Amino acid sequence: MPLPRFTRLPAEEQRRILDIAQLKFAEDGVDHASYNQIIAAAGISKTSAYNYFDGREDLLYTVLDDVAARLAAVLGTWHYADNAAEFWWAVHTVEARLIDHIATHPADLALIDPAFMLREQSVFLAWIAELVDNGTAIGVVTVDCDRELLVTATAAVIRAGDVWGAAQLRAGRTPDREQAWTLVRNLWGAG
């Protein structure tokens, strides 16, 4: 969590600092981005930076929480579908919202995995659990498996699809997202 002095900055200044930090973490990676380079790019002194954050990890977690909050808002609440057609329409609608979001916030794509897996895993897994529960209730998910294992495996396949899709986009190719959903359907026994 940022220190109180950061939260007292005007919202525009907070946003500016977080956007610069997010871009650096996205470009250089969460393990390699330099705190000193981030604060220099933001045009703030080291003293000010340490008045705003306890250090690099605190800034990173603030950025990841910000990304996770935006992505969670895009995911929204899973709305239960009454049949398979409605279910898959809802899945693809959420996917389209995420694709639109990433198109306008490309740095979020680079940080989606650490945002949900390092910081806000419960938000992502809760959404996946709702998806799996709905699919099970209407017969889309037919595999006989422990619910917790199925939710975790579904999340892993979706994450793998996101990582693969991001690599495709970085290479200038349009990913065939249906491949990832084919894996999910096979995991679920949906064929």
Interatomic CA distance for residues 111 and 61, integer angstroms: 11
Mean pLDDT of 54-73: 91
Q: Can you identify the CATH homologous superfamily of domain 4-65?
A: Homeodomain-like (1.10.10.60)
Report CA-CA distances (Å) from 99 to 56, 92, 103, 108, 186. Answer: 29, 10, 6, 11, 23
Per-domain boundaries in the chain: 4-65, 77-188
Residue from 19, 149, 138, 130 nearest 75 by CA: 130
CA 157 to chain centre: 14
pTM exceeding 0.95: no
Mean pLDDT of 52-57: 94
Mean pLDDT of 50-65: 93
pLDDT in tens, 109-165: 888 878 777 666 677 888 999 999 999 999 999 999 999 999 999 999 988 888 788
**What pLDDT does 36 receive?**
94
**What pLDDT does 190 receive?**
80
Mean pLDDT of 14-40: 94
**What pLDDT does 119 receive?**
61
pLDDT in tens, 74-84: 989 999 999 99
Mean per-residue pLDDT over the chain, rounded? 90
Please, which pLDDT band fits residue 191 given cuts at 50, 70 and 90? low
**What pLDDT does 122 receive?**
76
The answer to which of 57-61, 68-72, 148-152 has the lowest mean pLDDT is 68-72
* CA atoms within 13 A of residue 117's CA, in its CB half-sphere: 14
**What pLDDT does 118 receive?**
66
